[in-house]
Chains A and B, each alone.
Chain A
Amino acid sequence: MSLLSVEGLRTHFISRDIDNRVRVAHALNDVSFSIDRGRILGIVGETGAGKSLTAQSVTGLLRPPARVVGGKAVFDGRELTAMSDDELNTVRGAEIAMVVQNPRTSLDPLTRVGDQLVRTHQVHSGGPVATSRQRALEMMEAVGIPDPRSRARAWPHELSGGMAQRILIAMALMNAPKLLIADEPTTGLDVTVQAQILDLLRDLVARLDMATLLITHDLGVVAHFCDEIAVMFAGAIVERGPVREVFRNPAHPYTAGLIAATPERLRSGERSVQFGGPPPDLYNLPKGCHYRPRCPFAGAACHAAPPELETTPGHRALCHFAGAFDRAQEPAE
């Protein structure tokens, strides 16, 4: 049984326009995936595909007008999507920890970093404050912060981006979580620091036997860091499977396009799949396959909603022609 399994999750932004007509942005449409202990799942996709929104929907961090309208997320046998905020607060930061993308601005600017670590531990695990302090120092040490004792007294604004991200990771580890959600953890950092942070994360995941959900738009990061990959497009996971398998044999034309567009592939002069186009209008998604308007292989069949097909065990794609899109169909014109 998976640690976290998400089934058919749908999240909409429901608002009213100036004429008081209801407008619905179909931000997440049927997102399903699961993740096991000790595994790292990378979610990739372009901006607006719903990567972060998936994490927020799962952890109950959506803010109005966004709302989960269907599906469920089951974590360790409990249904997160049915929990009250108070119940969720006992899970968030304790069993499910988050690392976010703006570490420097995300820490409470008015509290010393050590006290923030202690606060997280006190809120979730309780016990004597001295124990929490000790644990804070240990975790800071574990994430490679030199001289934790003096760093604990630092204010957030005194930290560099990389150091702040380490603090956030230490914060995530404070309550020994089962699942770590890292939402673009290296986006704002220098390339060398990015590598350090990713190495640190991989090391910790292996040592602590956590499941990890890594949200990124960097395929290179997924290739080097993750066990499994889920590719998102227009609020749906269009392809998922083991990283090696997906990179070798992309079953969905969008994944194929993404991989062909990485700098390494472009440089090697491989034939590039036609790619690109505007992001889909979430208020008015195309009928049938949502990727159809951008898909160079789209045919008449694509006007019907695509099934999720399994090409090899554990490797699935949301496409009528999964695994065979470039042979099944000649370009439309």
Chain B
Amino acid sequence: MRTFRFLLRRALMVIPLLVGVVFITFMLVRVGGLDPVGQLAGPTATEAEFAAIREELGLDQSLFRQFLIYAGNVLQGDFGESWLSNRPVLDDILGRAVISLELLFWGVGLGTLVGIPVGLRAAFRPNGRFDQVSRVLSLLGFSIPTYWLGLVTIFVFFYLLGWAPPAMGRISLLVSPPPTITGSYLIDGLLQANWEAARSAFAQMVLPVLCMAVIAAAPIIKQTRAIALDVLSSDPIRYARATGLPERVVRRMVLRNSGVPILTYVGTEITGLVGTMSLIEYVFAWGGLGQYGLNAISRGDFTAVQGYVLALALFSVIVFLVIDILVYLMEPRSDLT
């Protein structure tokens, strides 16, 4: 009951947030100097044709009126159609969300699985050799531009070494995708015992997931190290040492006491990585939500951009909610308020 009330309250708090997101995105794309009309009309269009398109899209109305119309439609679950593809934005987003989540999940998962132990080990022996090596690597991961990392891994592992398949989407062109169950080729292939599809989907995924993992792991290593060092010099750990608890017990305590701050950090990082992921998707022709958003922005597809940003906001809200619940479960001092 308490949990339910908490969830309800959180859900209600999200509403003004989303209204703000919708409003700001709506206004930003319109005052941002993008003009979709030119692209839609083509180079030979006359003034009259321009005006007709403008009227059709409703761009001749006042900004405020346009917003009210859009907001009214959104409230009824109608996110509009992409002006360039004429497909409903909602369908596009739902279809591509799974594709992106798949990449995000494996990338961040791998990055976290590597980053947290590395950061912890570095913290247990600060300034040791392991710490120094991991610090340099993490700095490197921080500083490498995402698209450059993508291009270089393709160059090395596909072009030079020939270990990876060409970076052309989520499954080899020669393999037919398995029928959709979840939308992830890998999982669908495995579920349907379509090993060929699963194998190809996996091979396609290796490089982009590795790139995501590198970019995710770098700050996780740094943060985990800092958090664990903090915990190591905190009163409970110093007291634990004073009461003669053996090192392995102390380390388990450090791990547990670092859990909440690390989890919180990873949560915020995930929401930030969504932006980074657009570039990875772009380089590897992944065809997910990030690539969709990037395309929509560069081509002035207003409804698509609005839908994309709203989807990201919703994603962040959900991630934060999940983190809050996990923290509540891990931390006796927290209260569901």
Contacts and interface: CB of A to CB of B under 8 A. Distances in A.
A152 to B, nearest CB: 14
A108 interface: yes
Interface in A118-132: 119-120, 123-124
What are the 10 A-B residue pairs with the smallest beta carbon separation, nearest first?
Answer: A93-B244, A92-B244, A93-B243, A106-B239, A105-B235, A98-B242, A89-B244, A106-B235, A155-B332, A108-B236
A97 B239 CA distance: 11
Given A63-B233, A89-B245, A100-B238, 7 more contacts: A59-B242, A93-B245, A98-B242, A105-B234, A107-B239, A109-B236, A171-B243
A190 to B, nearest CB: 20
Interface string B238-267: 111111111101000100110000000000
Most chain B beta-carbon neighbours within 10 Å: one of A88, A90, A119 = A119
Chain B: number of interface residues, binned into ranges: 20 to 34
A147 interface: no
A61 interface: yes
Contacts of A39: none
Contacts, number: 71
A89 B244 CA distance: 4
A92 B333 contact: no
24 contacts: A61-B242, A86-B247, A90-B244, A91-B244, A92-B243, A93-B242, A93-B243, A93-B244, A93-B245, A97-B243, A102-B235, A105-B235, A105-B236, A106-B235, A106-B238, A106-B239, A108-B257, A119-B245, A119-B249, A123-B246, A123-B249, A155-B332, A157-B333, A171-B243
A110 B258 CA distance: 11
Interface string A49-77: 00000000001010100000000000000
B331 interface: yes
Chain A: number of interface residues, binned into ranges: 20 to 34
A203 interface: no
Contacts of A92: 241-244
Interface of B: 233-236, 238-247, 249, 253, 256-257, 330-333
Contacts of B234: 105
A63 B234 CA distance: 13
A63 B241 CA distance: 11
A85 interface: yes
Main secondary structure of the interface of B (DSSP, over half): helix
Contacts of A295: none
A102 B249 CA distance: 21
Contacts of A109: 236, 257, 332-333
B243 A86 contact: no
Contacts of B330: 110
Nearest to A85: B247
Interface in A124-144: 124
Contacts of B331: 110
A119 B243 CA distance: 10
Contacts of A108: 236, 240, 253, 257
Contacts of A94: 244
Contacts of B238: 61, 100, 106
A174 to B, nearest CB: 9
Nearest to A154: B332
B10 to A, nearest CB: 23
Most chain A beta-carbon neighbours within 10 Å: one of B233, B240, B253, B257 = B240
Given A61-B238, A100-B239, A110 B246 contact: no
A217 B301 CA distance: 72
A102 B238 CA distance: 11
A110 B332 contact: yes
A100 B332 contact: no
A85 B250 CA distance: 13
A97 to B, nearest CB: 7
Given A108-B257, A109-B236, A110-B257, A100 B246 contact: no
Nearest to B245: A123
B31 to A, nearest CB: 49
Given A100-B239, A155-B332, A124 B247 contact: no
Given A92-B242, A123-B246, A110 B235 contact: no
A133 B332 CA distance: 22
Nearest to B127: A64
A86 B242 CA distance: 12
Contacts of B249: 119, 123
Most chain B beta-carbon neighbours within 10 Å: one of A63, A102, A110 = A110
Contacts of A123: 244-246, 249
Most chain A beta-carbon neighbours within 10 Å: one of B244, B245, B257, B331 = B244
B219 to A, nearest CB: 25
Contacts of A61: 238, 241-242
